[in-house]
Every structure is written in structure tokens, then in C-alpha cells.
A and B are shown apart, each in its own frame.
Chain A
Amino acid sequence: MTTVPCGACRRANLIERRYCGGCGGNLAPICRGCGFANQGDDRFCGGCGDPLTVEASTRSAHPAPAWSSTAAVVEQSAGASDLDLNELFRASSETTGELPRIGINQADLDRMFGASS
């Protein structure tokens, strides 16, 4: 029985699950580059081939993925919008070997979309 941990609450879920039984979070690794929803144990994206884990990125023939470098994320964001995307899309410096989490949260999105909580 293969399980994958939820990135949000750490609960172990059966690999065929798409959403966490503990918190409802999406278990499918969403590719940072193309948005493709991959299987829970995929190491490379089925949509664009980018590595989905730090371990995979070190073995890939491709250059390091955009999410692995704060500078790369900032460079991608520059000039994309008049919003402060550099701040909004600050990358996590943590490289734990799991799917990296970009530092954007609901408060960032609320600011971006002008929502009041």
C-alpha cells in the first residue's frame, strides 16, 4: 500500500487519492511551470517534463527548474504586471526534498484581487 504525505497537513494518503482525507488539500503535485496535475509519486511533470522534486532536479538533464531559485522566480515576475510580483511570488528557500511550496498565500491573493476578509 503506497501512501503520499499531504503537503499541507502531512497526513499519509493512499496514492490514488487526489485530495487529502485530513484537510481536503490537493495531493496531485501541480507543476510550477505549466500547471499540470501529476500523480502523487511523479518525479517529473507529465505536462512539460520539468522535475517535480529536488531529487529529480539534480538528476535531470534539464537546467534547474524555476522554483529552485528565488532569482529565477523574481526574473520571471519582472515586468509581468504592475503588481509587486517579486514580493508576491517570493520563493521558499527550503529544499526538503519534497515538492517545493511557493510562498504565496491567501493574504497575498486577497491583496492582489482586492478582497477584504
Chain B
Amino acid sequence: MTQAPTLSPPGSDRRTDDRLPTACVIDDSAIMRAQIKRVLLGAGFSVVAESATADDLLATYERHRPDLVTLDIVMPGRDGAAAAAELLSHHPEATIVMCSSVTTRDKIVACQKAGVSHYLLKPFDPARAATMFRCALEKRTTR
């Protein structure tokens, strides 16, 4: 029986399962984080970290080096679009999927110019989200 992947304890830099692609989920809504995690697990990812803010995104990324980061935009503290730009300026290899209900021109163009891989509009269809996450991973492995 395959054991479901579990979150790493804080401070751990060890992946839960080296065979699985890894992901970090950043969203201020616990319900939304749970929904995204469910989709990621179903798509074959291991979720190695989650956070309600993007304040420590760079440190979180450098600790876990996930294959994929899902990132909300409107959150307390750091704006997700700005956090994505900062992360990609330090780690252009990072694969980020924005998961947001924001449809403002400035935010979307900022994400695109920063090098965000995909933009998933909330509310989303879980099957479509899973396809997008896998697609983002494939894009990462082929570049």
C-alpha cells in the first residue's frame, strides 16, 4: 500500500519522497491550501511546504527547492506577484503557478513579465488545475 506523502517538519530540507515531484503551496486561505494540496497530491506531487503568506517565500524555496510553487496574489503581508518576481530574479529556474482570482491587468502582466509559468484563475476546476500543474512540471523538465 502506498503511503500518502506528508509535510516535512519545519526546518527540514529532506524531501518526503524523492520519486515524487515536490510542491510548495502559498495561500492565505486554509481551505484553498487544502484544495490545492488535494489536487497536487492527486496529480502525483508531494507537498513539502505550505504557508499563509509570501513573506518568507525566498527562504522557503531555498530550503525545500520544490519543483513547483503555487502562489496566491492577495494575501496579508507580501503581495504574491511581487514575491514571484523576487523569487524568479534569484532563481530563474523556479516554476511558479499563480492561483488567484485577481484579473487586473497590472498584476497579470507583472506575473507574465516576471516569468511565471502559468496562471490559474479561482475558482478552478480540479481536473484542469491538475493538468496545469503537470504541464508546468513538464515545461520545467524540458527547458
Say how far A38's CB is from chain B's closest CB, in angstroms. 10
Partner of A105, one of B35, B79, B121: B121
A116 vs B137: C-alpha distance in the bound complex, in angstroms? Answer: 12
B41 on interface, CB distance cutoff 8 Å = no
Q: Chain A interface residue count: which class?
A: 20 to 34
Min CB–CB distance A35 → chain B (angstroms): 5
Q: Which residues of A contact B109 (CB under 8 A)?
A: 80-81, 83, 85
Which residues on B sit within 8 Å (CB–CB) of A76?
A: 105
Q: Is B12 an interface residue (CB 8 A)?
A: no
A-binding residues in B (CB < 8 A)? 29, 31-32, 35, 73-74, 79, 101-109, 112-113, 116-124, 128, 131-132, 135-136
Q: Which residues of B contact A112 (CB under 8 A)?
A: 108, 112, 119
How far does the Cβ of B30 sit from chain A's closest Cβ, in whole Å?
10
Per-position binary interface string of chain A over residues 58-84, scored 1 when its CB falls under 8 Å from any chain B CB and 0 otherwise: 000000000000000100110011010
Q: How far is the CB of A16 from chain B (nearest CB, A)?
A: 13
Contact of A26 among B35, B101, B112 (CB under 8 A): B101
| Known contacts A23-B123, A26-B101, A32-B104; 11 further A-B pairs (Cβ under 8 A) | A26-B122, A37-B74, A83-B109, A102-B104, A104-B121, A106-B124, A109-B108, A112-B112, A113-B117, A113-B119, A115-B119
Chain A positions within 8 Å of B74 at CB level:
28, 30, 35-37
Nearest CB of B to A71, in Å: 14
Contact pattern, A 96-117, Cβ under 8 Å of B = 1, otherwise 0: 0000001011100110110111
B104 touches A106 (CB 8 A): no
Q: Is the interface of A mostly helix, strand, loop or mixed?
A: loop
Contact B131 A18 (CB under 8 A): no
Residue of A20, A30, A117 near B123 (CB, 8 A) is A20
**Pick from B118, B119, B122: contact of A24, CB under 8 Å:** B122
Residues of A within 8 A of B135 (CB): 115-116
Judged by a CB distance under 8 angstroms, whether A33 is at the interface is: yes
Residues of B near A104 (CB, < 8 A) are: 103, 108, 121
Q: CB distance B105 to A89 under 8 Å?
A: yes
Given that A24-B123, A113-B112, A113-B116 are known contacts, is A35 also in contact with B29, CB under 8 Å in the complex?
A: no
**B128 contacts which of A19, A30, A83, A106 (Cβ < 8 Å)?**
A106
Contact B105 A24 (CB under 8 A): no
The answer to whether B102 touches A8 (Cβ under 8 A) is no
Nearest-Cβ distance from residue B59 to partner chain A, whole angstroms: 24
